[in-house]
């Protein structure tokens, strides 16, 4: 009999200790069978002279068949999580540890370790999944050279590195680059490949493949092109080349995250690689391009140089997100991309940073590391890299990166090592800058202005609110990009980066004729909340004249927000000036359509709820929803003459998923969504039936559903796409996301009984229960039905897949914004989850932190 589950253990950064043993090389043999896979391992260990001790191997859910040291049986201690051999029983020189274990991929519903998805074997080892494959020091600072033999009758057998031997029922792969176990991968299945080639700058000819299930071959061309562009871009921009003879990507239907950068064998959620104009939207294409780049870029930032421990996760993730963002900007439009990044940062990271789950970009402790693959680690982590670059300049940034690659290739390193490379390359002291990694919370930046005798003075004050475990914050280094616009609308001072290091600090601009209007925080140069008193006229002025696209957009957004807040609090109808300003942007042909679409987009309901809360008002979700609908109606009526014209102007010819085409379609669809409020859905229905691409088909359907129409089209869509999983995910998600608030919980519940709903597929689960909290007024509808439903679903999913269940709990992180009734209902839901016996460590940690 085992004891009840022990209380989950907290791991601290400060407790880091080097391993007792290093790994030199690893030979693995897999005899694949759905419930009885044998894994035979032969590992050469080298004692760590600097930290001698027992051999400690991780291992979970393994059935140990046999284990030896240098061929002999030795004493070992084996429990649910470890295999340990006392130092006294080990040679004090390199030795060979051999083990045979049995595992059951078919019953692995957690999708971590080796598991099966639609008859194919695949792996997910980051962060700590390898311990479910065999006994091993499953920590990123232990790097070994892997040789893998896969035995199976399945036709395609893949692992990391280069293929060395292929025979009847087996394949052998060898990866010459030492790597931590989290980058191990294996795939076996009945797969077909979309082939490609790439020749590196130094002449290495690389075989490329995207492996998919038969039937999906026609959805690989776009991903292959994205991969080739990424390989070229990393050579041109960072001087980084690919380093194996082959690069494989595999699409898997059941996958917890987006994708995984395993060395030479990237594994993707099929939603993040398969693309066709019939089944994927422009947003899907853009995301796929970005994720393929992200995983490819990890080959240098993550694989060749990896993390010493999991607290350093942002070392690879923040940097790699920053790299994929720059790549996407280069491929498409930097202006549009930056606005999209800020939208996502505010919606996910600011939200996280302002609630009970706030944590530093480099956390100091965790219970389950999977809970720290967060917007803070990824997106705020990327913002830090962007600030560093802005502060030191492009050239110094490249110099620092080169030094980092040169100095640490083949190592597992820390944030300190990363920053040191930039200190050494530039001679700058980055110790204050390093606070960005250790202090949680979004800084508030207050600005006041004064003007006298041709001198403009900007005075800034920064402060960061307390976050869990961090009551007091020190000032951070803020790069504040500022430009000045003269009264006639011309730019009188071009963008200049002010470097703020104090709690309060003033900066002056001299020699000005008339008082200019300052454009502050251009390009969103620091991830802060800017607090600035500004009247509507000044905002409209910058919306019309700012040369910085981000600030231009920001002014439109702030006008929209003020308009909505006035509607919510005082029922004030939208001001004519605001409506006219939007009309001016909508009809300005000199502006990029994608940009115009972004200006037309209104702040989301969750964003408004936070805005009200920050202003000391308890948000009423239904009121917020109604106000937003009212404003949509006002915009539609005010723009009624312009909408049909722009709708027609934005028609695209043959579908090309590039910046130009997608920008036009984005504007066309935002226009359509307003038009639908005026024409009873006539245009939307017409577009729905004649669209030859998913962007317009789904866009038209969304416009109809948002207007309370489209029952028939929804049914037709479901009928038409019933054999396509990824499109059906959209069908599930759209109806939940756009359900009327009073119906959202019912719609989600009914869909959870649909024959095509399954908890075993994370994409399908997220389509319904990720979309539910996305419907803000629906999720928070009076009575709390949605809270209770989500809690039930999280409890049920936890038994199968703790990682994805834990992720879903984030829906509750904002609970303290709302009124006492809603807080009580959410608390009850969270406590009900926490009280469940056998609850995973993953969900336990999340719920405990959220309850605070
Ligand atoms: N390293 C992967 C990426 O950023 C994410 C893997 C996360 N997996 C996990 N189980 N938490 O592309
Ligand atoms: Zn990543």
Q: Which atom of ligand 1 is nearest to the CA of 294?
A: 12
Q: Which two tokens stand for residue 607?
A: 């964003």
Is there an atom of ligand 1 within 6 Å of 261 CB? yes
Which of helix, strand or coil describes residue 495? strand
Q: Which two tokens stand for residue 851?
A: 């309850």
> Tens of pLDDT along 297-337?
999 999 999 999 999 999 999 999 999 999 999 999 999 99
Is there an atom of ligand 1 within 6 Å of 256 CB? yes
> Tens of pLDDT along 746-776?
999 999 999 999 999 999 999 999 999 999 9
Average pLDDT, the chain: 98
pLDDT of residue 594: 98
Q: Whose CA is nearest to atom 11 of ligand 1?
A: 370
Assign 1 a pLDDT band (cuts: 50, 70, 90).
Answer: very low
> Tens of pLDDT along 796-813?
999 999 999 999 999 999
> Tens of pLDDT along 727-753?
999 999 999 999 999 999 999 999 999
CA distance 139 to 126: 10
> Tens of pLDDT along 157-179?
999 999 999 999 999 999 999 99
Q: Whose CA is nearest to atom 3 of ligand 1?
A: 260
- Any residues with CB less than 8 A from the CB of 749 and at least 6 apart, and which? 789
Q: Is the pTM value of this prediction over 0.90?
A: yes
Asked if 703 and 673 touch (Cβ cutoff 8 Å), the reply is yes
> Tens of pLDDT along 93-120?
999 999 999 999 999 999 999 999 999 9
- Average confidence (pLDDT) over 391-408: 98
Is there an atom of ligand 1 within 6 Å of 295 CB? yes
Asked if 694 and 673 touch (Cβ cutoff 8 Å), the reply is no
% of the chain exceeding 70 in pLDDT: 99
Asked if 470 and 454 touch (Cβ cutoff 8 Å), the reply is no
Q: What separation in Å is there between the alpha carbon of 638 and the centre of ligand 2? A: 44
> Is residue 676 classed exposed, middle or buried when 0-12, 13-18 and 19+ CB atoms within 10 A define those classes?
buried
Question: Above 80 in pLDDT, residue 238?
Answer: yes
- Average confidence (pLDDT) over 790-801: 98
> Is residue 295 annotated as a catalytic residue, yes or no?
yes
Its ipTM equals 0.98
Which of helix, strand or coil describes residue 16? coil
Is there an atom of ligand 1 within 6 Å of 259 CB? yes
Assign 6 a pLDDT band (cuts: 50, 70, 90).
Answer: low
Q: State CA 134 to chain mean position distance.
A: 29
With vertex at residue 60, the alpha carbon angle to CA 183 and CA 308, rounded to the nearest 5 degrees, is 40
Asked if 843 and 791 touch (Cβ cutoff 8 Å), the reply is no
DSSP of 415-482:
HHHHHHHHHHHH----TTTTHHHH--SPPEEEEEEEEETTEEEEEEEEE---BTTB-------EEEEE
> Tens of pLDDT along 503-556?
999 999 999 999 999 999 999 999 999 999 999 999 999 999 999 999 999 999
Question: Above 70 in pLDDT, residue 4?
Answer: no
Q: Which two tokens stand for residue 228?
A: 């080739």
> Tens of pLDDT along 206-228?
999 999 999 999 999 999 999 99
pLDDT of residue 8: 79
pLDDT of residue 83: 98
H or E element at residue 632: helix 621-638
Mutate which of 373, 379, 845 to test ligand 1's pocket (most atoms within 8 Å of Cβ)?
Answer: 373
- Average confidence (pLDDT) over 552-579: 97
Q: Which atom of ligand 1 is nearest to the CA of 291?
A: 12
For 327, other C-beta atoms within 10 Å of its C-beta total: 24
Torsion angle, CA of 547/550/554/557, rounded to 10 degrees? 110
Asked if 174 and 186 touch (Cβ cutoff 8 Å), the reply is no
Residue 440: phi and psi, rounded to 5, are -85, 170
Q: Which two tokens stand for residue 370?
A: 């999977």
Is there an atom of ligand 1 within 6 Å of 128 CB? no
Is there an atom of ligand 1 within 6 Å of 127 CB? yes
For 368, other C-beta atoms within 10 Å of its C-beta total: 20
For the chain, report the end-to-end CA distance as a whole number of angstroms: 34
Is there an atom of ligand 1 within 6 Å of 257 CB? yes
Q: What separation in Å is there between the alpha carbon of 294 and the centre of ligand 2? A: 6
Selecting among 126, 295, 317, 713, the annotated active-site residue is: 295
> Tens of pLDDT along 612-670?
999 999 999 999 999 999 999 999 999 999 999 999 999 999 999 999 999 999 999 99
Residue 98: phi and psi, rounded to 5, are -125, 140
Q: Which atom of ligand 1 is nearest to the CA of 258?
A: 12
pLDDT of residue 278: 98
Question: Above 90 in pLDDT, residue 2?
Answer: no
Question: Above 70 in pLDDT, residue 3?
Answer: no
Q: Which region, left, alpha or beta, applies to residue 180 given φ > 0 means left and ψ of -120 to 50 means alpha? A: beta
Q: Which residue has the tokens 């091993």?
A: 136
């Amino acid at each position: 009999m085992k004891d009840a589950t022990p209380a989950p253990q907290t791991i601290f950064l400060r407790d880091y200790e080097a391993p007792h043993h290093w790994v030199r090389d690893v030979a693995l043999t897999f005899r694949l069978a759905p419930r009885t896979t044998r894994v035979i391992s032969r590992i050469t260990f080298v004692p760590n002279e600097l930290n001698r001790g027992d051999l400690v191997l991780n291992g979970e859910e393994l059935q140990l068949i046999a284990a030896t040291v240098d061929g002999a049986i030795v004493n070992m201690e084996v429990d649910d999580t470890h295999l340990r051999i006392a130092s006294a029983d080990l040679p004090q020189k390199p030795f060979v540890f051999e083990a045979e274990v049995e595992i059951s991929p078919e019953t692995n519903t957690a999708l971590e370790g080796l598991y099966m998805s639609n008859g194919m074997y695949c792996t997910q080892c980051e962060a700590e999944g390898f311990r479910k494959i065999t006994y091993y020091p499953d920590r990123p600072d232990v790097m070994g050279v892997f040789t893998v033999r896969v035995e199976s009758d399945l036709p395609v057998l893949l692992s990391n590195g280069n293929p060395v031997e292929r025979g009847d029922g087996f394949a052998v792969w060898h990866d010459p680059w030492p790597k931590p176990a989290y980058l191990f991968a294996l795939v076996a299945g009945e797969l077909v490949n979309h082939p490609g080639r790439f020749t590196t700058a130094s002449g290495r000819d690389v075989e490329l493949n995207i492996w998919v299930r038969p039937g999906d071959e026609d959805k690989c061309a776009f991903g292959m092109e994205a991969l080739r562009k990424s390989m070229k871009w990393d050579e041109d921009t960072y001087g980084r080349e690919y380093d194996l003879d082959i690069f494989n990507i595999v699409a898997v239907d059941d996958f917890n995250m987006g994708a995984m950068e395993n060395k030479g064998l990237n594994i993707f959620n099929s939603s993040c690689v398969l693309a066709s104009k019939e089944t994927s939207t422009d947003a899907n294409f853009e995301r796929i391009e970005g994720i393929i780049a992200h995983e490819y870029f990890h080959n240098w930032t993550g694989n060749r140089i990896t993390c010493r421990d999991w607290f350093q996760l942002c070392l690879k993730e923040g940097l790699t997100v920053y790299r994929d963002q720059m790549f996407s900007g280069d491929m498409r439009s930097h202006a549009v991309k930056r606005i999209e990044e800020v939208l996502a940062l505010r919606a996910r990271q600011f939200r996280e940073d302002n609630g009970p789950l706030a944590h530093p970009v480099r956390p100091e402790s965790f219970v389950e590391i999977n809970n720290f693959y967060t917007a803070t680690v990824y997106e705020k982590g990327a913002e830090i890299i962007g600030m560093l670059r802005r502060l030191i300049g492009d050239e110094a940034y490249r110099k620092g990166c080169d030094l980092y690659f040169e100095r640490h290739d083949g190592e597992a390193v820390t944030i300190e090592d990363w920053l040191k490379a930039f200190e050494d390359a530039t001679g700058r002291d980055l110790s204050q800058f390093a606070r960005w990694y250790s202090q949680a919370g979004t800084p508030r930046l207050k600005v006041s202005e004064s003007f006298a005798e041709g001198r403009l003075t900007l005075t800034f004050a920064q402060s960061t609110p307390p976050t869990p475990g961090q009551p007091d914050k020190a000032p951070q280094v803020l790069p504040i990009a500022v430009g000045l616009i003269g009264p006639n609308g011309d730019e009188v001072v071009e963008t200049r980066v002010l470097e703020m290091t104090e709690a309060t600090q003033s900066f002056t601009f001299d020699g000005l004729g008339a008082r200019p209007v300052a454009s502050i925080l251009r390009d969103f140069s620091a991830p802060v909340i800017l607090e600035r008193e500004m009247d509507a006229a000044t905002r409209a002025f910058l919306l019309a004249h700012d040369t910085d696209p981000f600030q231009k957009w920001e002014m439109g957004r702030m006008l929209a927000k003020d308009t909505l807040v006035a509607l919510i609090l005082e029922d004030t109808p939208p001001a004519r000036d605001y409506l006219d300003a939007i009309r001016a942007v909508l009809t300005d042909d000199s502006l990029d359509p994608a940009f115009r679409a972004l200006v037309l987009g209104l702040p989301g309901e969750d964003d408004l709820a936070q805005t009200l809360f920050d202003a000391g008002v308890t948000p009423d979700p239904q009121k917020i929803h109604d106000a937003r609908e009212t404003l949509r109606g006002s915009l539609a009526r005010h723009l009624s003459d312009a909408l049909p014209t722009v709708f027609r102007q934005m028609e695209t010819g043959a579908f090309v998923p590039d910046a130009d085409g997608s920008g036009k379609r984005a504007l066309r669809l935002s226009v359509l969504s307003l038009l639908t409020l005026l024409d009873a859905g006539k245009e939307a229905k017409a577009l729905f039936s004649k669209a030859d691409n998913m962007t317009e088909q789904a866009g038209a359907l969304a416009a109809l559903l948002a207007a309370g129409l489209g029952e028939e089209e929804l049914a037709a869509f479901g009928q038409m796409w019933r054999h396509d999983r990824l499109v059906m995910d959209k069908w599930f998600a759209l109806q939940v996301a756009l359900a009327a608030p009073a119906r959202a919980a019912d719609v989600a519940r009914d869909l959870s009984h649909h024959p095509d709903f399954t908890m075993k597929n994370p994409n399908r689960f997220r389509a319904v229960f990720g979309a539910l909290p996305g419907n803000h007024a629906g999720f928070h509808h009076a009575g709390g039905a949605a809270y209770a439903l989500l809690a039930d679903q999280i409890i049920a999913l936890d038994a199968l897949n703790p990682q994805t269940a834990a992720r879903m709990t984030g829906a509750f992180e904002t609970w303290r914004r709302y009124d006492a009734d809603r807080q009580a209902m959410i608390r009850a839901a969270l406590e009900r989850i926490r009280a469940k016996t056998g609850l995973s460590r993953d969900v336990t940690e999340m719920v405990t932190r959220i309850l605070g």
